[in-house]
Structures are given as structure tokens and as C-alpha cells.
């Protein structure tokens, strides 16, 4: 029987080969802990120790890349573990042009880099570690707020583009330093590829154009993943991104795992609703897992949830889902 390391299992899945079992990974937010490098690293390492996932996806607060521009946020009890924004850095269209690129050696960017170094060092070569980057358009949404970015994008596109260029420069600087920590890949979060927010031409100009420039700089990593957030998504506008895995809310959107696999080049990540995992018992989540593995014929699928698991999900459900892939 071959020795299936986590990397070998993931590479086989990406290549469309049949692994010894479906890989599995679930991630969640760590409110409070995500404000300090040591506690963020410790939370992820304990999570890995408890469940032995096939990869560690490090989940920072969404504000980590923008807080040094003056954005303020706090956790107020969301079961998703996400934080509420209390102060924005951009209010008027001209504010986009006043943003300056951030230094990844300072502030919250440096805190996140230290957390990555600690996780990679402790995980060693046996567990791939994936960092997180939010797309420039997603960062812009958190810098100004969801309504203002749409208003500024449409009323002052030149100023908004200059802001996106600054965000891109900052993110590329961070990516360059993150790669030095020894991560295997990046989880690239796309949040505005949604028809209720904008049309496909707007996303192409203000989202996809910047996404592709960032993704081009990730090609020396072997385990990159795109996350398409939300419902009513523009799946076709993101499906061809050059990544190894695509993760989306497959149980909450019209694009199923089977349909998604027909459009993407690599593998899918998902198959289980995070709300099914958030039930009193694991039966619904296990049924979805079985259905997803069958739909993918056991190939090109890393089992997990379509987004972060709720921080209040019963640990017995998480344990049951982890044990599911080990059963013959």
C-alpha cells in the first residue's frame, strides 16, 4: 500500500487522480485570537492537532490587510467569527487617491506574517499551510463600506482605480513576504463576483483585472485556492482563475459541485453546507458529504464547507465529518 502523505493526496486530487481517500479541510475564524500572532497561530495548531486536516488554512480577520490605513473593527459576537467595522478609512471619492501602500514589516500585516511563520514552523513539512489574501476589490469594500464602493466605482472610476492600484501594490508586497514564510499556497477571497452587487462588465474591470495580476504572482506556489463568496455568483467570471482549488457556497448557490467541476481546471473544495454542520446532530452534513463525493466520483474534490464553519458548530459534528473520509 503506498504511503499517502497529505501533499501526495492533495496533488493526486488536483490532477484528477484517485487518492487513497478524499482530502478534507475545514477552517473557521478565531475572533479575539486573530488580533495577535501567537494566539492566532496557537488556535490553528490546536485545531490541526484535534482534527488532522489535510491542510491548515490560516484565517485572519478580514481587516488584517487594511487596519493600518485607519480602519477600525471589533468582534461583537457573530457566530461566523467575523468582525463589525466601526470606522472606515475612505469616505469621499478623493480619499482613494490619498491612500499610500503599506509596509508589510509594520502593523497588522507584520502580525499576520509572524503568525504564518509560527504555523509553518510548527507544522513542518508534513502539513501544507495556506495563507489568506482578500482581493483588492474585497479590501476596498471593507475600507469604504459596501455601498460607498459601488457609488465611487460608478461616479468616480478613475479615483477608484487609483485606490485599487494602491491596494494591489500593498497586497503584492505582503504576498512577497508571505511566500518567504514557507507557505504552500494562498487562499484568495473574492467577494464581489455577485450579480446583486454589480454586472459582469463592472466585475471584469474592477475585480478580475486586479485578481489576475495578483494571481500571476502566486504561480510559484503549488496549493492556491480561490474562494467565491456569497450567493448569485458570477461563477464563470472566476472559474478559469489559475489556482489548484476553487471553493464556493455550493450548497447555497445554483452551482453544484458536479456543475462546478465541469467549468474549473483544478479541483473543488466544499460539498457540505456550513449550516448542516451547525445542526444538533451530524446526519445532514454526512449525507451531503456522501452525495458530494459520489458526484465527484471520488476525484477532484477536497471535502469541506463552502465558507468558514461557524464557531459554535458542535465539535461532535466536526469530528463525525472528519472521520467520514477514513471509513472504507
The grid cell for 264 is: 474549473
Which residue segments constitute the domains of the chain, with CATH numbers given?
A: 6-324 (3.20.20.210)
Is 0.95 surpassed by the pTM of this model? Answer: yes
Q: For position 141, what pLDDT does the model report?
A: 98
**pLDDT band (50, 70, 90) for residue 276:** very high
Q: What CA–CA distance (Å, rounded) separates 111 from 200?
A: 35
Whether the pLDDT of residue 303 is over 60: the answer is: yes
Whether the pLDDT of residue 14 is over 70: the answer is: yes
Whether the pLDDT of residue 1 is over 60: the answer is: no
Q: What CA–CA distance (Å, rounded) separates 45 from 9?
A: 21
In this predicted model, what pLDDT tens digit does every residue of 176-221 receive, in sequence order?
A: 999 999 999 999 999 999 999 999 999 999 999 999 999 999 999 9
Handedness of CA 263, 268, 272, 273 (dihedral sign): negative
Give the mean model confidence (pLDDT) for residues 137-158: 98
Q: What CA–CA distance (Å, rounded) separates 232 from 195?
A: 6
Whether the pLDDT of residue 246 is over 70: the answer is: yes
Q: What CA–CA distance (Å, rounded) separates 119 from 182?
A: 10
Q: What CA–CA distance (Å, rounded) separates 292 from 235?
A: 18
Whether the pLDDT of residue 129 is over 80: the answer is: yes
**pLDDT band (50, 70, 90) for residue 3:** confident
In this predicted model, what pLDDT tens digit does every residue of 61-120 receive, in sequence order?
A: 999 999 999 999 999 999 999 999 999 999 999 999 999 999 999 999 999 999 999 999
Q: For position 157, what pLDDT does the model report?
A: 98
Compute how many other C-beta atoms are within 10 angstroms of the C-beta atom of residue 76.
10
Q: For position 2, what pLDDT does the model report?
A: 63
Whether the pLDDT of residue 58 is over 50: the answer is: yes
Amino acid at each position: 500500500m503506498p504511503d499517502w502523505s497529505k501533499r501526495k493526496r492533495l496533488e493526486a486530487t488536483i490532477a484528477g487522480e484517485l487518492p487513497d481517500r478524499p482530502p478534507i479541510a475545514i477552517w473557521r475564524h478565531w475572533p479575539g485570537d486573530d488580533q495577535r500572532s501567537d494566539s492566532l497561530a496557537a488556535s490553528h495548531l490546536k485545531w490541526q492537532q484535534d482534527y488532522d486536516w489535510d491542510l491548515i488554512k490560516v484565517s485572519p480577520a478580514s481587516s488584517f490587510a487594511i487596519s493600518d490605513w485607519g480602519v477600525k473593527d471589533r468582534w461583537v459576537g457573530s457566530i461566523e467569527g467575523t468582525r463589525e467595522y466601526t470606522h472606515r478609512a475612505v469616505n469621499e471619492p478623493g480619499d482613494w487617491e490619498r491612500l499610500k501602500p503599506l509596509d508589510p514589516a509594520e502593523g497588522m500585516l507584520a502580525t499576520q506574517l509572524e503568525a504564518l511563520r509560527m504555523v509553518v514552523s510548527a507544522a513542518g513539512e508534513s502539513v501544507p499551510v495556506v495563507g489568506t489574501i482578500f482581493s483588492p476589490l474585497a479590501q476596498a469594500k471593507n475600507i469604504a463600506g459596501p455601498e460607498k464602493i459601488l457609488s465611487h466605482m460608478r461616479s468616480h472610476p478613475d479615483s477608484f482605480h487609483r485606490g485599487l492600484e494602491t491596494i494591489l501594490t500593498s497586497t503584492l508586497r505582503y504576498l512577497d513576504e508571505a511566500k518567504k514564510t514557507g507557505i504552500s499556497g494562498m487562499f484568495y477571497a473574492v467577494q464581489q463576483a455577485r450579480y446583486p452587487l454589480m454586472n459582469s462588465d463592472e466585475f471584469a474591470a474592477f475585480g478580475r483585472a486586479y485578481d489576475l495580476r495578483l494571481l500571476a504572482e502566486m504561480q510559484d506556489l503549488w496549493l492556491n485556492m480561490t474562494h467565491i463568496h456569497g450567493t448569485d455568483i458570477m461563477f464563470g467570471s472566476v472559474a478559469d482563475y489559475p489556482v489548484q482549488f476553487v471553493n464556493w457556497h455550493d450548497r447555497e448557490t445554483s452551482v453544484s459541485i458536479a456543475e462546478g467541476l465541469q467549468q474549473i481546471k483544478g479541483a473543488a473544495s466544499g460539498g457540505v453546507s456550513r449550516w448542516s454542520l451547525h445542526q444538533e446532530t451530524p446526519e445532514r452534513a454526512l449525507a451531503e458529504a456522501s452525495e458530494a463525493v459520489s458526484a465527484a466520483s471520488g476525484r477532484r474534490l477536497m471535502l469541506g464547507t463552502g465558507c468558514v464553519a461557524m464557531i459554535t458548530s458542535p465539535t461532535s459534528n466536526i469530528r463525525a465529518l472528519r472521520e467520514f473520509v477514513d471509513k472504507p
